[in-house]
């Protein structure tokens, strides 16, 4: 189900939602989403071996022939879970390069925002100089912690694992297009790994204004945490995902951990494919038992995302795009692990 269908469903359910017993009185809209079983036939993932974020991102966008944003108002979701150096959070060079590239490709307006999981979001963004960057590059910096109750949209997934559903920041859903940039790392608090699927958790409220219920406590205390992470991703379809894997945490994470020089930029639109390739890269360097065990497509985040129709269901549907010999050799090594 795409974002346009979500919005159409919202209008259709408007009269029913007001009676929902768990919504607070601020007229949030609940969307009851059914899993979409129509899986894509193929996913292209740009694969660039590099130590240069700026050059790598530009090459990756070129490989994808990414140009479909002219005149659009875009929302860019980084990883501002904390202010720790990359891969603990999005590297500022990654963010700057993406914003400039989106401008060059005709984006009308860009907003950048997140909700930090490890600290106050405004303070995290201040420590990363995001507000200064926003003034210099002329984008809107959005602090999700400071949104009002009616600036969140409640969503539920049919046969999902969230007790009350989850609330997604309305500025994201109202954008003409959504860009996501994530890191490459393991996750010690139950997610197992945190890449494009897990990065979407920052779109969800911890608490809604006027309501004491803690959605993040529910997530992190649930034995279905990895299923719930995937379910958040039904809320939107990204126009682009860029994974900064110049460095990676192969153990620990999300803020700090055992770091390796993984030297890669990935880009695409299929979150399942991006995360599957990312897991293969972590395995290439040696990672945690949880990330190493079983088939990559049996990893719970990925398996649940496939059930929900969010991406390809097998490695043979992923095509790694390269344009130089070093990237091709590296990509071939990783592709062999994708079937593991």
Are the C-beta atoms of 176 and 194 separated by less than 8 Å?
no
Residue 28: the pLDDT is 64
Q: Is the pLDDT of residue 5 over 50?
A: no
Q: Is the pLDDT of residue 7 over 50?
A: no
Average pLDDT over residues 294-314: 97
Full-model pTM: 0.91
Residue 340: the pLDDT is 65
Q: Is the pLDDT of residue 213 over 50?
A: yes
Are the C-beta atoms of 105 and 70 separated by less than 8 Å?
yes
Q: Where are the alpha helices (DSSP H) in 113-194?
A: 121-127, 130-137, 170-173
- Which tens digit of pLDDT belongs to each residue from 104-128? 999 999 999 999 999 999 999 999 9
Residue 27: the pLDDT is 40
Look at the chain and report how many structural domains it folds into. Answer: 1
CATH of the domain at 199: 3.40.50.11440
Locate tokens 């197992």: which residue?
Answer: 192
> 329 is in which domain, residue-wise?
3-338
Question: For the chain, what percentages of helix, strand and coil (3-state, to nearest 5) are there?
Answer: 40, 25, 35
Q: Is the pLDDT of residue 168 over 90?
A: yes
Give the DSSP H or E segment for 178: strand 177-187
Residue 9: the pLDDT is 37
Give the residue from 313, 315, 305, 275 showing the smallest Cα distance to 35. Answer: 305
Please tell me the least confidently modeled range out of 8-12, 57-61, 70-74. Answer: 8-12
Residue 36: the pLDDT is 65
Average pLDDT over residues 25-43: 72
Q: Mean pLDDT in the chain?
A: 91
Are the C-beta atoms of 272 and 43 separated by less than 8 Å?
yes
Please tell me the least confidently modeled range out of 27-31, 104-108, 141-145, 217-221. Answer: 27-31
Q: Is the pLDDT of residue 309 over 80?
A: yes
- Which tens digit of pLDDT belongs to each residue from 232-275? 999 999 999 999 999 999 999 999 999 999 999 999 999 999 99
Q: Is the pLDDT of residue 11 over 80?
A: no
Q: Under DSSP, is residue 41 helix (H, G, I), strand (E, B) or coil?
A: coil
Are the C-beta atoms of 199 and 180 separated by less than 8 Å?
yes
């Amino acid at each position: 189900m795409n974002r346009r269908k979500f919005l159409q469903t919202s209008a259709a359910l408007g009269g029913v939602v007001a009676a929902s017993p768990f919504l607070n009185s601020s007229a949030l809209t609940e969307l009851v989403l059914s899993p979409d079983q129509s899986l894509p036939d193929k996913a292209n993932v740009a694969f660039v071996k590099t130590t240069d974020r700026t050059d790598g991102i530009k090459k990756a966008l070129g490989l994808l022939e990414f140009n479909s944003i002219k005149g659009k108002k875009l929302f860019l979701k980084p990883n501002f879970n904390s202010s720790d150096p990359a891969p603990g959070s999005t590297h500022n060079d990654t963010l700057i390069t993406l914003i400039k590239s989106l401008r060059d490709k005709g984006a009308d307006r860009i907003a950048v925002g997140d909700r930090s999981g490890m600290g106050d979001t405004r303070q995290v963004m201040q420590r990363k100089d995001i507000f200064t960057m926003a003034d210099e590059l002329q984008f809107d910096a959005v602090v999700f912690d400071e949104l009002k109750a009616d600036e969140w949209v409640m969503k539920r997934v049919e046969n999902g694992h969230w007790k009350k559903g989850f609330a997604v920041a309305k500025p994201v859903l109202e954008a003409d297009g959504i860009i996501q940039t994530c890191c490459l790392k393991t996750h010690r608090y139950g997610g197992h790994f945190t890449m494009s699927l897990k990065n979407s958790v920052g779109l969800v409220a911890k608490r809604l204004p006027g309501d004491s219920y803690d959605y993040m406590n529910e997530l992190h205390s649930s034995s279905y945490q990895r299923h719930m992470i995937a379910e958040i991703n039904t809320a939107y379809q990204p126009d682009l995902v860029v994974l900064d894997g110049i460095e990676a945490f192969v153990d620990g994470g999300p803020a700090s951990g055992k770091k390796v020089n993984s030297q890669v930029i990935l880009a695409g639109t299929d979150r399942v494919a991006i995360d599957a390739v990312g897991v293969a890269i972590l395995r290439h360097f040696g990672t945690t038992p949880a990330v190493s065990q079983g088939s990559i497509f049996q990893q719970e985040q990925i398996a649940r995302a496939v059930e929900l129709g969010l991406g390809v269901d097998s490695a043979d549907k992923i095509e790694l795009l390269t344009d130089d010999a070093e990237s091709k050799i590296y990509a071939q090594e990783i592709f062999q692990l994708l079937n593991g």
